[in-house]
Amino acid sequence: MSWVVSLPCTRDEAEALSGEIPALDALSEAPVVVTREIDEDAGLWQLDAYVDDRPSAALLKLLPALVPSAAGKTPAVEKLPEEDWVTLSQQGLEPVHAGRFFVHTSSYADRVPQGSTSFLVDASQAFGTGGHDTTAGCLAMLDRLARAGAAPRNIADIGTGTGLLAFAAMALWPRARTIASDIDPASIAVTRNNAAVNDIALGRGGGRLTLAVAPGTDHPAIRHRAPYDLVIANILAGPLITLSPDIAAATAPGGHAILAGLITRQMDDVLAAYRAHGFRLAARGGSGEWPCLLLVKRRRFGYRRKERALHRANPADASFGSW
């Protein structure tokens, strides 16, 4: 028998819960947490925590602390019928349709639009639903970049989450060398499983995806393969700013960076950090509240000293991954 514990929350709280939650992971039975928007017009969101057994007192005490807006509210506890709790948790996960891409869970496997490039990504502990708008923005930006004639040969997806954006890039540029990294080993395990489900070849060389557990760009394989024609980072504003010198060092002059995970009021700070390291804004996409930024690293002419990645990322900052 499975159980679900529910609490109302805000969108900002849902965003914060999309990453790794050490306090929940420390529980004897870590729940699978899904956040979803239940009323778009009213801006109402909800946290659902799924567990196999009756929720512990520790879980019931911890969850309200994660959503301060629900202070004073008692969590709703419901015993679920004998059904697959993963399927239940996916019912709130609508497909993402952006550009040529259609990303769906098993619940929508029979509704894939004809002619689309589709990926099956089921619910897992590596992500929450708070990143859907940012995911759609990144997919649309990748599609836009390809339609504009870009042809990157060396691609890095930093903070890959479930591997989706790396998969999309490989579908667009199948001969490119692609590496996907995440600070969370569980995310890389999920990416490996998703690669098998979606017939993505793993390994080294063109047309294969290399995986790495790493905080930001701090990994020998990432450093060895730099510089990159395209860097994708769908994380959060804080880690994006912290990683700006490293992403700049890893990006080839004239190369592109796709940044997402930030909200509108954070955009100026993120842009300022990247402009300071030689990038310019080429395009803005995404939704009104969740922008997706396409940056180009300016070319430098004449003598300049070799750039090296600084790897200033705080491992605690870089845990957010894409859907």
Q: What residues contact residue 111 under an 8 Å CB cut-off, 6+ apart?
A: 95, 104
Q: How far is residue 126's CA from residue 159's CA, in Å, rounded to a whole number? A: 11
Tell me if 49 sits within 8 A of 5, measured CB to CB: yes
Tell me if 21 sits within 8 A of 66, measured CB to CB: yes
Residue type for position 102 = F
Intra-chain end-to-end CA distance of the chain, in Å: 28
Find out whether 160 is annotated in a ligand binding site.
no
Token pair for residue 66? 């994660």
The CA angle 15-21-22, to the nearest 5 degrees, is 160
Find out whether 135 is annotated in a ligand binding site.
yes
Strand partners, 46: 8, 36
| H or E segment to which residue 141 belongs | helix 132-147
The CA angle 14-104-81, to the nearest 5 degrees, is 70
Length in residues, the chain: 323
Query: HSE of 236 in the Cβ direction (CA atoms, 13 Å)?
Result: 18
Q: Determine how β-strand 44-51 pairs with β-strand 96-98.
A: unpaired
Q: What is the DSSP string of 96-137?
A: EEETTEEEE-GGGTT-PPTT-EEEE----TT--GGGHHHHHH
DSSP state of 255: E
- Beta-carbon count within 10 A of 308 CB: 12
Q: Which residues participate in the annotated binding site for S-adenosyl-L-methionine? A: 135, 159, 182, 234
Q: Which residues participate in the annotated binding site? A: 135, 159, 182, 234
